[in-house]
Amino acid sequence: MPVRALARVNLAAIERNVARLRAGLSGGAELCVVVKANGYGHGAVPAARAALAGGARSLAVATAVEAAELREAGIEGSVLVMGALSDEELAVALEARAEVVAWSDRFVDALVAARERGSPNEPVRVHVKFDTGLGRLGTRVLSEAVRVADLVDGAGSSGLELAGAMTHFASADEDPEFTVLQLSRFEPFVAVLRARRPEIVVHAANSAGTLRFPESHFDLVRCGIAVYGCDPMNRDPHAHGLEPALELTSYVAAVKAAAPGDSAGYGRKWVARTGTWLATVPIGYADGIRRALTNNCEVLIAGRRYPLVGTISMDNITIEVGAPGSVRCGDRVTIIGADGSERVTAEELAARIGTINYEVTCGVSARVPRVHHRDGPTA
């Protein structure tokens, strides 16, 4: 019997995407690959290894535990924790020899204290974040950001090292004017810090910024979604020379006739108007197939598109396959990926329910086993 649900991840595609992104960088910039959220659903450790094999300079995550996972897997090199850290999480990050992000006096004080308690052999590399418009982490006030950088720089005797200056774009995928404004706000911060520490690493660009704004490349870009072969503008990854690395499949578990008036799924959200045939596929919202795709999705079987009908349940979906004999029990069903000349991308699924491809790939749950391979393109 086939596996009920399977996510196949093409590591060779990740390597090629890294090479493609690096080739487009300007001014000698390097590539940092973001592997947070389990590598955007692709598997953090295998994705990290593929990224480094493809030429990435460094890795980035959101949490201390994610950094620790990489270290426990034997991955060396620079790992930046970009998210907020409690005192407890800070200890985990330092144990993992991670670089961290600061934007407040309090955090710098906590970092000095944690470093003294843990006594790592090497200085803790700190990147100072200036909020130029995203409105999440980081101070919006230039003088405060400079003061935090000065505090880090002045704490060299306490084992801190001012390593970088950073910001994050709010809408590089859709609002070029605001992105340019963010760059103009960032440049004074960069100028002050570079005057004091010419060797610091300056970074701002996410995947969309990397592809659309060469002037934002600075010393380093931080790419996540594009590395996995998804379009940060949520349209077509192939337009940017990117290969989707994720393929999500299941199989036909049952086929049955439906007479006019027969329904499929909870709530009878689909009722047959004419005689037809239905296939049940053992994958559902607990596996990452969003319930909002009810009556609003197509899957691939033997190179053909078939509509998903009826409410998506926790463990099953139902497909209308039309004529008897068109599909058989055991046939492979592709939810994301390619089959023959047809393909379904994460971007297509996202567009159907008004979300983004990030949420589609991150939403593939831990219940779905990941198989990592190097067989060539999957979509």
**What are the helix and strand counts (H, E) for the chain?**
11, 20
Q: Token pair of 25, please?
A: 């960088």
From first to last of its 379 residues, the chain has per-residue pLDDT tens of 568 999 999 999 999 999 999 999 999 999 999 999 999 999 999 999 999 999 999 999 999 999 999 999 999 999 999 999 999 999 999 999 999 999 999 999 999 999 888 766 789 999 999 999 999 999 999 999 999 999 999 877 789 999 999 999 999 999 999 999 999 999 999 999 999 999 999 999 999 999 999 999 999 999 999 999 999 999 999 999 999 999 999 999 999 999 999 999 999 999 999 999 999 999 999 999 999 999 999 999 999 999 999 999 999 999 999 988 889 999 999 999 999 999 999 999 999 999 999 999 999 999 999 999 998 554 4
Position 120 scores a pLDDT of: 67
Q: How far apart are the C-alpha atoms of 355 and 297, rounded to whole Å?
A: 14
Query: Within this chain, do residues 45 and 140 fall inside the same structural domain, yes or no?
Result: yes
If asked whether residues 223 and 255 sit together in one domain, one would say no
The two structure tokens encoding residue 361:
């790939």
Q: What is the CATH number of the domain that holds 88?
A: 3.20.20.10
Q: How many CB atoms lie within 10 A of CB 239?
A: 10
CATH number of the domain to which 358 belongs: 2.40.37.10
From 36, 40, 228, 285, the catalytic residue: 36
Residue 54 near residue 69 (C-beta atoms within 8 A)? no
| 285 assigned to some structural domain | yes
CA distance 162 to 150: 9
**Domain identity same for 209 and 281:** no
Please give the pLDDT value at position 346: 98
As a whole number of angstroms, the distance between CA 14 and CA 227 comes to 6
Q: In this structure, are residues 276 and 255 in contact, taking their beta carbons and an 8 Å threshold?
A: no
Which of 176, 204, 229 delimits the end of a domain? 229
Q: Is the distance from CB of 48 to CB of 85 less than 8 angstroms?
A: no
**Residue 350 φ/ψ, nearest 5 degrees:** -60, -45
Co-location of 113 and 172 in the same domain: yes
Query: Same domain for 172 and 317?
Result: no
Please calculate the CA angle 204-208-214 and round it to the nearest 5 degrees.
60
Angle between helices 176-196 and 142-154 (to 10 degrees): 40
Q: Give a yes or no: residue 328 inside a domain.
A: yes
Q: Are residues 21 and 151 in the same domain?
A: yes
Tally of structural domains, the chain: 2
> Which of 204, 229, 254 represents a domain boundary (last residue)?
229
User: What are the tens digits of pLDDT across the range 140-188?
Assistant: 999 999 999 999 998 777 899 999 999 999 999 999 999 999 999 999 9
Residue 376: its pLDDT value, please? 58
Residue-level pLDDT at 379: 47
Measure the CA–CA gap between 133 and 113, rounded to whole angstroms. Answer: 31
Look up the domain containing 182 and give its range.
11-229
266 is known as an active-site residue: yes
Model's pTM, two decimal places? 0.95
**What phi and psi values does residue 36 have, to the nearest 5 degrees?**
-65, 170
Q: Is 36 known to be catalytic? A: yes
- Which of 229, 261, 295 corresponds to the end of one domain? 229
How confident is the model at residue 3, as a pLDDT?
A: 86
CA-based nearest residue to 110, from 100, 98, 97, 96: 100
* Beta-carbon count within 10 A of 325 CB: 9
278 and 145, same structural domain? no
Within-domain flag for 3: no
Q: Does 318 reside within a domain?
A: yes
Kindly state whether residues 179 and 139 are assigned to the same domain: yes
Catalytic residue among 256, 266, 285, 306: 266
